[in-house]
């Protein structure tokens, strides 16, 4: 079941300069996801906040906004996305 609203705190530096550590975000699990959106996803039991860089059928490529973020989330099932960022508006 997708939750209507999720509140998360940014941890780490992968989304700098747009989202800095400690910033609170609100996401909705009821909104469609498009390329360019910032989402929160549950990957290997951990919530991550990344930008959708590409969509291929039921798989998404996610990446951080920080150029130094080298984490590879190139084939994430849509089912692992738990919400799309709605606040702050980017």
Phi-psi region of 4 (alpha: psi -120 to 50; beta: other; left: phi over 0): alpha
Render pLDDT for 47-74 as a digit per residue (tens, 0 to 9). Answer: 999 999 999 989 999 999 999 988 889 9
pLDDT at 22: 96
Backbone angles phi, psi at 80, to 5 degrees: -85, -10
On the question of pLDDT at 80 being above 70, the answer is yes
Among the listed residues 88, 2, 4, the one whose alpha carbon sits nearest the alpha carbon of residue 49: 88
Render pLDDT for 1-33 as a digit per residue (tens, 0 to 9). Answer: 677 999 999 999 999 999 999 999 999 999 999
pLDDT at 3: 78
CA 30 to centroid of chain Cα atoms: 14
Across the range 33-37, mean pLDDT stands at 96
Residue 8 burial by Cβ neighbours in a 10 Å radius (0-12, 13-18, 19+): middle
Reported pTM:
0.92
Domains and CATH numbers, the chain: 6-87 (2.10.109.10)
Structure token digits, residue 39: 């989402």
């Amino acid at each position: 079941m997708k939750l209507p609203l999720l509140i998360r705190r940014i941890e780490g530096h992968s989304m700098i300069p747009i989202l800095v550590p400690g910033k609170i975000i609100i996401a909705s699990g009821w909104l469609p996801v498009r390329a360019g959106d910032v989402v929160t996803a549950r990957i290997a039991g951990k919530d991550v906040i990344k930008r959708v860089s590409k969509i291929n059928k039921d798989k998404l490529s996610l990446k951080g906004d920080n150029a130094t973020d080298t984490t590879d989330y190139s084939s994430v099932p849509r089912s692992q996305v738990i919400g799309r960022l709605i606040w702050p508006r980017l």
